[in-house]
Amino acid sequence: MQLAELLLKDLPPRSGWEALPADDRERLKITELLWHLVEFHRRESKPVFWAKYERSEMTEEELYEDINCPATLERVGEPETVKQSLRFHYKFYTEQDTKISKGKKVFLAENIAVAPTIDEMDTDNGTVTLKISRRQLSDKLEAAELPARIS
């Protein structure tokens, strides 16, 4: 059972609240408010969730126009090992506007189950370093490294 359903389960109709003691009415108001907050966040997360799938079907040109998605990353150099993770260096077009930044998780358009983190980003020089665990690479991508060209 979802949290919102649990909160709503014991909430009586508002019409009967007047007969309850003040402490009980206050508890019900707080429970109702929590239910609204949980539902709000659930509804708000859906557009982000679906945008991920929409981007996986976009062309490179469409991705280039999307400021939330750097298009046509080309790997430069060899991956670096950092503890249990790998760092992959990529270059991209500096003309492309983007809102993504260091520390953000990104999804590969080719495989949305793979979610590396932006470890470094230099928009002036068009370079980005993606960091991903070896485990996620093998489990989600079934490969030892990220592709040489990604969007």
Looking at every residue in the chain, the average pLDDT score rounds to: 81
Average pLDDT of span 91-112 = 81
Q: Is 61 or 146 the better-scoring residue by pLDDT? A: 61
Highest mean pLDDT among 33-42, 71-80, 109-118, 138-147: 71-80
User: Of 2.60.40.60, 2.30.40.10, 3.90.850.10, 2.40.30.20, which CATH number belongs to 60-150?
Assistant: 2.40.30.20
Looking at the DSSP bridge assignments, the partners of residue 121 are 128
> Which two structure tokens, joined as six digits, stand for 74?
């080309």
Q: Which of 139, 129, 141, 143 is nearest to 82 (CA)?
A: 129
Kindly indicate the confidence band of residue 72, based on its pLDDT and cuts at 50, 70 and 90: confident
Residue 108 pLDDT greater than 80, yes or no: no
For residues 82 and 45, give the distance between their C-alpha atoms in angstroms, rounded to a whole number. Answer: 32
What's the pTM?
A: 0.62
- The fraction of the chain above a pLDDT of 70, given in percent, is 85
For residues 101 and 106, give the distance between their C-alpha atoms in angstroms, rounded to a whole number. Answer: 10
> Which two structure tokens, joined as six digits, stand for 142?
């079934």
Kindly indicate the confidence band of residue 89, based on its pLDDT and cuts at 50, 70 and 90: very high
